[in-house]
Amino acid sequence: MANEVCFRLMHLPEPWRLAAYQSEGGYEALRKVLGGGMPQDQVIEEVKKSGLRGRGGAGFPTGVKWGFINRTAPGPRYLVCNSDEGEPGTCKDRDILRFNPHALIEGMVIAGYAIGAVAGYNYIRGEFWEPYERFEAALAEAREAGFLGKDILGSGLDFDIHTHLGAGAYICGEETALLNSIEGRKGQPRYKPPFPAQFGLYGRPTIINNTESLASVPEIIRRGGDWFREIGVANSGGPKLFSVSGNVARPGNYEVPLGTPFATLLEMAGGVRGGRKLKAVIPGGSSAPVIPGDVMMDLTMDYDAIAKAGSMLGSGAVIVMDDTNCMVRVLDRVSYFYYEESCGQCTPCREGTGWMHRVIHRIETGKGRPEDLDLLDDVAAKIQGRTICALGDAAAMPVASFVRHFRDEFAYHIEHRRCLVGG
Amino acid sequence: MSSNEVTMPRPDAAALLSAGVRAEIDTWVAKYPPEWKRSACMAALRIAQEGNGGWLTTELMDAVAAYLEMPPMDVYEVASFYSMYELKPVGRHKICVCTNISCLINGSERVVEHLEKRLGVGLGETTADGRYTLKEVECLGAVLREPDPRADRRDPGRAGVAPWRTKSASA
Ligand SMILES: Cc1cc2nc3c(=O)[nH]c(=O)nc-3n(C[C@H](O)[C@H](O)[C@H](O)COP(=O)(O)O)c2cc1C
Ligand code: FES
Residue range A174-208, pLDDT digits in tens: 999 999 999 999 999 999 999 999 999 999 999 99
Q: What is the amino acid identity at position A377?
A: D
The pLDDT score that the predictor gives to residue A421 is 83
What percent of chain B is predicted at pLDDT more than 90? 70
What average pLDDT does the structure give for chain B? 83
Identify the pLDDT of residue B11: 65
Of B36, B152, B157, the CB nearest to A202: B36
pLDDT digits (tens, 9 = 90+) for A261-319: 999 999 999 999 999 999 999 999 999 999 999 999 999 999 999 999 999 999 999 99
Q: How far is CA A367 from CA A331, A361, A372, A419, B27, in A?
A: 16, 8, 10, 12, 54
Q: What percent of chain A has pLDDT over 90?
A: 97
In the predicted model, what is the mean pLDDT of residues A411-423? 86
Cross-chain residue pair B158–A89, CB shorter than 8 Å: no
The mean pLDDT value for A125-147 works out to 97
Cα-based angle A260, A217, B140 (whole degrees, multiple of 5): 70
Ligand nearest the Cα atom of residue A216: 1
Which residues of B fall within a CB distance of 8 Å from A86?
Answer: 138-139, 141
* pLDDT > 60? residue B152: no
Q: How far separated are the first and last CA of chain A, in Å rounded?
A: 43
Q: If you count them, how many residues does chain B have? A: 171
Euclidean distance between CA atoms A124 and B81, whole angstroms: 17
Q: Round to whole Å and give the CA distance between A152 and A112.
A: 12
pLDDT beyond 80 at A172? yes
- What is the distance in angstroms between the Cα of A305 and the nearest Cα belonging to chain B? 24
Atom of ligand 1 nearest to the CA of A170: 3
A130 vs B83, B101, B155: nearest CB: B155
Instruction: List, chain by chain if needed, residues with CB within 6 Å of any ligand 2 atom.
Output: A 88-89; B 98, 100-103, 139-140, 142-143, 160
Other CB atoms within 10 A of residue A271 CB: 17
pLDDT tens digits for A49-75? 999 999 999 999 999 999 999 999 899
Start-to-end C-alpha separation, chain B:
67
Cβ contact, residue pair B141, A91, below 8 Å: yes
Nearest C-alpha neighbor of A241 from the set A215, A221, A270, A222 = A215
What one-letter code names the amino acid at B120?
A: G
Cα(A17)–Cα(B167) distance, integer angstroms:
34
Contacts of A163 in chain B (CB under 8 A): 31
**What is the per-residue pLDDT across A224-257, written as a single tens digit (0 to 9) for each?**
999 999 999 999 999 999 999 999 999 999 999 9
pTM of the complete model? 0.95
d(CA B136, CA B156): 10
pLDDT, tens digit, for every residue of B98-116? 999 999 999 999 999 999 9
In this prediction, residue A420 has a pLDDT band, given cuts at 50, 70 and 90, of confident
What backbone phi and psi angles, to 5 degrees, belong to A3? 55, 55
Residue B147 reports pLDDT greater than 90: no
Q: How far is CA A4 from the centre of its chain?
A: 19
DSSP assignment of A169-222 equals: -GGGGSHHHHHHHHTTS---PPPSSSPTTTS-GGGS-EEEEEHHHHHHHHHHHH
Query: A395 pLDDT exceeds 90?
Result: yes
Per-chain mean pLDDT for chain A:
97
List the beta bridge partners of residue A292: A280
Residues of chain A above pLDDT 70, percent: 100
Half-sphere exposure of A416 (CA within 13 A, CB side): 11
Testing the interface with B: which of A95, A127, A135, A399 to mutate, by most B Cβ within 10 A? A127
Q: Which of A91, A168, A183 sits opposite B144 (nearest CB)?
A: A91
CB contact under 8 A, A167 and B142: no
Residue A36: what pLDDT? 79
Tell whether the model's pLDDT for residue B144 goes beyond 90. Answer: no
Q: Distance from the CA of B25 to the center of ligand 2, in angstroms?
A: 31
Residues in chain A: 423
Average pLDDT of A343-356?
96
pLDDT at A323 over 70: yes
Per-residue pLDDT for A399 more than 50?
A: yes
The count of C-alpha atoms lying within 13 angstroms of the C-alpha of A398, restricted to the half-sphere facing its C-beta, is 35
Q: Which residues of chain B are within 8 Å of residue A326 when distances are taken between CB atoms? A: none
Predicted ipTM of the assembly: 0.95
